[in-house]
Amino acid sequence: DAGVIQSPRHEVTEMGQEVTLRCKPISGHDYLFWYRQTMMRGLELLIYFNNNVPIDDSGMPEDRFSAKMPNASFSTLKIQPSEPRDSAVYFCASRQTGTYEQYFGPGTRLTVT
Amino acid sequence: SQELEQSPQSLIVQEGKNLTINCTSSKTLYGLYWYKQKYGEGLIFLMMLQKGGEEKSHEKITAKLDEKKQQSSLHITASQPSHAGIYLCGADTGGYQKVTFGTGTKLQVIP
């Protein structure tokens, strides 16, 4: 398996623009997690899905952030409109029920100018 | 996360030396995870501890969960440059497998 795939790896955008981050989990994994990592706040859980259904979105910072999982092999995290304080590395991770290990993707480094 | 404190925040050691990283939770831990992250990459799972007093090893890395299940230590024996990176502990404090991560410990190993 190729592991968790994220795209793009780097994104530079201007304030006010819409940003869409993409994630393909490992086949057969039924949990999907979106995290954000910054120097100030460390690694924060934004939202997670089980069987494509959002279970806990309490970590989503505000309404400008939205996440979807239309099928078992694809998820998106959208920021609209983006702001400079959204600059961070965004990770996607997946896990299979009955196991403990989360497999992380390589991350998307987002810079909002 | 304020629930989870890691110490030290950074560490520089000479190759071959032993070192210890600590992770303390303000809540009872249902599960304690250790991950390693290299710059520009995602996290790699090292091990997971659940039972008080449990100890696990992965190559030269050993982690232990204390009896009260609120603190864990990660010990590296005879450190090597390949051990360099950021070590993060993650805690499941709700019993529902939602993991909260500490701020990490940055380890540098000098040849």
How many residues are there in chain A?
113
The answer, yes or no, to whether residue B1 has pLDDT greater than 70, is no
Do the Cβ atoms of B89 and B74 come closer than 8 Å?
yes
Q: Per-residue confidence at B59, pLDDT binned at 50, 70, 90?
A: confident
Strands B10-14 and B105-110, by their bridges, are parallel
In one-letter notation, the amino acid at residue A105 is G
Q: Between B31 and B14, whose confidence is greater?
A: B14
Q: What pLDDT is stored for residue B96 in this prediction?
A: 63
Whether residue A107 and residue B41 make contact (CB cut-off 8 A), yes or no, is: yes
CA B92 to CA A108: how far, in whole Å? 25
Sheet containing strand A65-71, edge to edge, reads A5-7, A19-24, A74-79, A65-71
Q: What pLDDT is stored for residue B97 in this prediction?
A: 67
Which are the contacts of B94, defined by CB distance < 8 A and separation ≥ 6? B30
Is the N-terminal amide bond of B8 cis, ω within 30° of 0? yes
What is chain A's pLDDT, residue by residue, as a tens digit (113 residues)?
Answer: 689 999 999 999 999 999 999 999 999 999 999 999 998 888 999 999 999 999 999 999 889 999 999 999 999 999 999 999 999 999 999 999 988 889 999 999 999 99
Where would I find the beta strands (DSSP E) of chain A?
A: 5-7, 10-13, 19-24, 31-38, 42-50, 53-56, 65-71, 74-79, 88-95, 103-104, 108-112
Q: Which of residues 56-85 of B touch A (CB under 8 A)?
A: none
CA A99 to CA B75: how far, in whole Å? 24
Is the N-terminal amide bond of A81 cis, ω within 30° of 0? yes
Whether residue A45 and residue B48 make contact (CB cut-off 8 A), yes or no, is: no
Q: Per-residue confidence at B37, pLDDT binned at 50, 70, 90?
A: very high
Question: A65: closest CA among A45, A94, A39?
Answer: A45
- State whether residue B89 sits within 8 Å of chain A by CB: no
Whether residue A107 and residue B42 make contact (CB cut-off 8 A), yes or no, is: yes
Q: Between B28 and B46, whose confidence is greater?
A: B46
Q: What are phi and psi of A55, to 5 degrees?
A: -100, -40
Whether residue B42 and residue A93 make contact (CB cut-off 8 A), yes or no, is: yes
Q: What pLDDT is stored for residue B51 in this prediction?
A: 84
Residue of chain B whose Cα is closest to the Cα of A57: B98
**B67: buried, middle or exposed (CB in 10 Å: 19+, 13-18, 0-12)?**
exposed
Q: What pLDDT is stored for residue A22 in this prediction?
A: 98
Q: What three-state secondary structure class fits B53?
A: coil
Whether residue A91 and residue B43 make contact (CB cut-off 8 A), yes or no, is: yes
Instruction: Pick from A100, A108, A109, A110 the residue to mutate for testing the B interface (most B CBs within 10 Å).
Output: A100
Do the Cβ atoms of B62 and B54 come closer than 8 Å?
no
